[in-house]
Amino acid sequence: MIDQVRELFRTSFGDEPTVIAQAPGRIEFVGNHTDYNGGDVLGVAVEQGIVLAVRKRTDRLVKGVSHSVETAFEYSLDELETRPKESSWSRYPLGVLWAIQDHGLVFEHGFDFAVVSNVPSGAGMSSSAALELATAYAVLEEVIHEFSRKDIVRICRYAENHYVGVPCGILDQGVSGFGKKDHLVSIDCKNESFGNVPIPSGTHFWIFNTDVKHSLVDSLYSERFSECGEGFEVAKSLHPNIECLVDYPLAELDSLGEHLGSKPYRRVNHVLNENQRVKDVVKLLGEPEVDLHLTGKFLFNSHASSRDLFRNSTEELDYLVSLLEGYDQVFGARLTGGGFGGAAMAWTSASFSESDANAVSSNYERRFGHPARIIHCESGDGAHIAWKESSL
């Protein structure tokens, strides 16, 4: 991919890049919609990612090309406030430039960008966060700055929230930033602290992409965000010292129910229990002998809760998870990411094979008329500089 992006850069801009940065996509392991509620979450950075080459320009233009999207973009640093159209991929790199400037670092010159990706878009693996992290790492390498990895993760989330306009939590950017081969990333989203937990050896991750998405996926995400906000307001009226929804004591969930309508109550019920599931899974993964089936059960329970309480699953995802539940080699399976379509993940033993995955997909096809796209994922490292022109 590095050679590919260098070649794309050369043919597009007639020059060599000076920096190439790389950032991974991610799988949400467990912790569905806990992040923006101040909860905990576990994710895994995957080997699939984005590779982005840059070179500083002498003027204030920002030009971007991508191997997978036909439209190249050209923008000026002086017009960043005018956001590009919603459909344009330029919102992510431009949003990052905008967010970095909003955090006090002013760019004098624009950049040429070339992007190559092997994160399947629309598979719930957060190609957008990978693009944000790769952009930030690449451009920051070209200037003097004091941002830490955590600062960069926060800036990328800020870009997504305030430039792209999605009220997401810190999961996607955090996992892309703090990924580590053979490890999960654990995030305490309230304190924004990041850690790594070893992945039990011999276990594997599979993605089954339904290729079906609710047409209102973005507004449904925002709706859930608001419902949780509503739940938090009521929780706070009962416990004025709490700082976020997950601070509300799980043991007092019933009394919260008396003050909330049934819909926001279901959402809150999901979030508080889901947060507890993440804590339980972290604990189980820390045991000397990890009970894989017991740990995986929490993933199945997470899916059931998303389906029944948070209501962000779909018929397609439910069917995939129920098929996967039939395999002894599958420890756990659940929808991964925002929901309302997208992908299910399965956590399996090494004996779950390509032909097992194909059988799941064919079974899915018999019911829905198209196969589920299968991606076998390895864990990978977080965002980093993959190559830099040596300064002589």
Scanning the structure block, which residue is given the tokens 């004996």?
351
Shortest gap between Cβ of 28 and ligand GLA (angstroms)? 6
Phi then psi for 143, rounded to 5 degrees?
-135, 170
Identify the sign of the CA torsion 132, 135, 141, 144.
negative
Q: Residues in the site for ligand GLA, rule: CB under 6 A? A: 28, 32-33, 35-36, 168-169, 171-172, 337-338
Query: Judged by CB, which is closer to ligand GLA: 6, or 224?
Result: 224
Shortest gap between Cβ of 129 and ligand GLA (angstroms)? 7
Shortest gap between Cβ of 66 and ligand GLA (angstroms)? 21
The gap between the terminal CA atoms of the chain, to the nearest Å, is 26
Select from 131, 120, 123 the least CA-distant residue to 50.
131
Phi then psi for 237, rounded to 5 degrees?
-70, -25
Query: Judged by CB, which is closer to ligand GLA: 28, or 40?
Result: 28
Query: Judged by CB, which is closer to ligand GLA: 200, or 338?
Result: 338
Scanning the structure block, which residue is given the tokens 């043991």?
251
58, amino acid identity: T
Query: Judged by CB, which is closer to ligand GLA: 219, or 237?
Result: 219
Q: Which of 172, 182, 318, 356 is catalytic?
A: 172
Q: Give the other-Cβ count within 10 Å of 80's Cβ.
A: 19
Shortest gap between Cβ of 34 and ligand GLA (angstroms)? 6
CA-CA distances (angstroms) from residue 217 to 212, 314, 338, 342? 11, 11, 8, 10
Helix/strand/coil percent split, the chain, to 5:
45, 25, 30
C-alpha torsion angle, residues 52, 26, 245, 157 (rounded to 10): 0
Shortest gap between Cβ of 389 and ligand GLA (angstroms)? 34
Query: Judged by CB, which is closer to ligand GLA: 93, or 337?
Result: 337
Shortest gap between Cβ of 385 and ligand GLA (angstroms)? 25
Query: Judged by CB, which is closer to ligand GLA: 192, or 356?
Result: 192
Select from 145, 147, 148, 115 the least CA-distant residue to 132.
115
Residue 59 annotated to the active site: no
Give the sheet arrangement for strand 330-336, strand by strand: 330-336, 341-349, 203-213, 373-377
Q: Do the beta carbons of residue 2 and residue 51 sit within 8 Å? A: yes
CA distance 276 to 116: 38
User: Reduced to 3 states, what is the DSSP secondary structure of residue 266?
Assistant: helix
Shortest gap between Cβ of 270 and ligand GLA (angstroms)? 11
Query: Judged by CB, which is closer to ligand GLA: 43, or 371?
Result: 43
Q: What are the catalytic residues?
A: 172
